[in-house]
């Protein structure tokens, strides 16, 4: 009989312990969405202190036992681990719960570089960070759409799933220069961020010049300078003209203006003129001015004639010679 009594007593003790343990945990869901408010029922009488310890701050509030403790959505903005504590006298009721990010609602978008030469593979990179409405980084996978478009050309578009809140992409620059609109957006929402990547002309291609004699100088002028995709190189680009004759070397670092570079070089009766833009070499023209009569320079200037021109880029030498044949 006494044995049965011990067993019943032990059972009663376990039940009490279980009740006590259950009574020490606050009634809060284990997982909430950011910005989601909740209410905690309390029992008993008197006052207590409620603490909510979260990743972005701590809340302390005096509560009346028996009334519900209301936690506003604003107080659970930050995603992460929270601890709620209800302290009454010497007893503490606690609950650990997690706040997860809400629906994707914002993007931060890094686009690099701000300027890029045309027709370069993988030259443009974009990194999008997906956040919910409270700027919590989205953990779950979310599709992000990237599109790159230059005016008057079809946009390049691709969708990339974000992993741990980050989606990134590398894209080739287009063949046309201009301000490319690089947009990252969240499908099925109106969330999008636009960056501008300036696509600029690359190195000059088929750099070509012609020469013409004036009264005191030789005027050299390039054809419209374009890159290999046909884009005009920007104004201000340096183009170097070099003239070599018996008196030495003469150089002018001319600036491209309205698509062409133009310079004046010293008049010479026999000279070789070359042109370059950066490390790109253009054609070379050898000029010799025939001087009828006594052949003096003074007499020649009155009757200049372009005799020959040899262009190294092939096929244009003779045409160049006759087309730019000085002035008479």
Partner 1 sequence: MSRVFPVVLIILTVVLVAFATISPGHLTSATSPDQAVRSLLERVKGRDFKQAFSYISAASNIDEGAFYRDVNGSEGSLRTYSSLQDVDTKVLKESDTEGTVRADLVWSSAVGAIYETRDLHVVKEDSGWKVLWPQEKQANLPPQVIPVNYLRWDIVHRGADEDWGAQNVEPPRVRIISMNAIERDGNVIILGEIENEDTVPGFVAVNATLLGKDGGDLGQESSFDKMSHTLLPKEVSPFRIDFPKMKLASVKSVRMQPNAMLVPASADPVIAVQHQRMETDARGHHVLKGELLNESGQTVNIPHVLATYYDTAGRVVWVSDAYSDRALLPQVPVPFAVDVRDDLAENVHNYRVTVNNYTLDRDR
Name the site residues for partner 1 (rule: CB under 8 A).
Answer: 108-115, 129, 193, 195, 200-201, 203-204, 233-239, 247-255, 257, 263-266, 277-279
User: In the structure encoding, which two tokens stand for residue 94, read together?
Assistant: 């606690």
Minimum distance from CB of 77 to partner 1 (Å)? 18
Task: State the minimum distance, in angstroms, from the CB of residue 204 to partner 1.
Answer: 8
- Judged by beta carbon, residue 60 or residue 255, the one nearer partner 1 is 255
Q: What proportions of the chain, in percent to the nearest 5, are helix, strand and coil?
A: 10, 50, 40
Give the residue with the Cβ less far from partner 1, 56 or 200.
Answer: 200
Kindly state the smallest distance separating residue 95's Cβ from partner 1, in Å: 35
In the complex with partner 1, the residue whose CB is nearer, 248 or 293, is: 248
Supply the DSSP symbol for 203. Answer: S
Q: How far is the CB of 284 from partner 1 (least distance, A)?
A: 14
Nearer to partner 1, 201 or 273 (CB): 201
Q: Token digits for 278?
A: 């950066």
The residue (of 79 and 263) whose beta carbon lies closer to partner 1 is 263
C-alpha dist (Å) from residue 114 to 111, 119, 121, 123, 199: 7, 15, 16, 11, 8
How near is the Cβ of 92 to partner 1 at its closest, in Å? Answer: 40
**Residue whose entry in the numeric block shows the structure tokens 């636009």:** 194
State the DSSP H helix or E strand holding residue 11, giving kind and residue range, or none if neither. Answer: helix 2-23
Q: How far apart are CA 8 and CA 25, in angstroms?
A: 26
State the Cα–Cα distance between residues 231 and 256, nearest whole angstrom: 14
DSSP annotation of 74 reads: G
Q: How far is the CB of 148 from partner 1 (least distance, A)?
A: 14
Q: Which is nearer to partner 1, 85 or 219 (CB)?
A: 219
Q: How far is the CB of 270 from partner 1 (least distance, A)?
A: 14
Strand ranges (DSSP E) for 35-117?
Answer: 38-40, 47-54, 57-64, 69-71, 80-88, 91-100, 104-112, 115-117
Name which of 33 and 244 has its Cβ closer to partner 1. 244
Buried b (16+ CB within 10 A) or exposed e, 287-321: bebebeeeeeeeebbeebebeebebeeeebbeebb
**What is d(CA 127, CA 125) in angstroms, rounded to the nearest whole number?**
7
Q: How many residues does the chain have?
A: 328
By C-beta, is 41 or 278 nearer to partner 1? 278
The least CB distance from residue 210 to partner 1, in Å, is: 19
């Amino acid at each position: 009989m006494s044995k049965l009594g011990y067993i019943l007593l032990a059972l009663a003790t376990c039940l009490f312990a279980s009740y006590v343990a259950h009574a020490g945990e606050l009634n809060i869901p284990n997982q909430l969405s950011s910005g989601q408010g909740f209410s905690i029922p309390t029992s008993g009488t008197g006052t207590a202190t409620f603490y909510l310890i979260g990743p972005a701050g701590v809340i302390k509030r005096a509560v009346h036992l028996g009334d519900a403790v209301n936690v506003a959505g604003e107080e659970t903005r930050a995603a992460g681990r929270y601890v709620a504590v209800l302290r009454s006298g010497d007893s503490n009721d606690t609950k650990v719960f997690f706040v997860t990010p809400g629906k994707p609602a914002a993007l931060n978008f890094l686009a690099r570089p701000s300027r890029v030469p045309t027709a370069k593979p993988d030259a443009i990179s974009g990194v999008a960070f997906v956040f919910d409405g409270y700027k919590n980084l989205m953990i779950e996978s979310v599709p992000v759409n990237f599109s790159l478009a230059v005016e008057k050309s079809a946009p390049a578009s691709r969708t990339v799933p974000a992993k741990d809140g980050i989606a990134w992409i590398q894209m080739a620059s287009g063949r046309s220069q201009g301000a490319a609109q690089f947009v990252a957006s969240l499908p099925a929402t109106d969330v999008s961020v636009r960056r501008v990547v300036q696509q600029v002309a690359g190195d000059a291609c088929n750099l070509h010049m012609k020469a013409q004699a004036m009264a005191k100088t030789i005027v050299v002028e390039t054809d419209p300078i374009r890159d290999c995709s046909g884009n005009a190189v920007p104004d201000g680009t340096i183009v170097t003209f070099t003239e070599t004759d018996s008196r030495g070397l003469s150089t002018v670092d001319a600036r491209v203006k309205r698509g062409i570079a133009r310079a004046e070089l010293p008049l010479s009766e026999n000279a070789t003129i070359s042109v370059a833009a950066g490390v790109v070499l253009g054609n070379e023209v050898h000029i010799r001015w025939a001087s009828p009569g006594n052949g003096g320079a003074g007499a020649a200037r009155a009757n200049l004639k372009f005799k020959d021109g040899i262009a190294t880029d092939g096929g244009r030498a003779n045409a160049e010679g006759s087309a730019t044949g000085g002035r008479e």
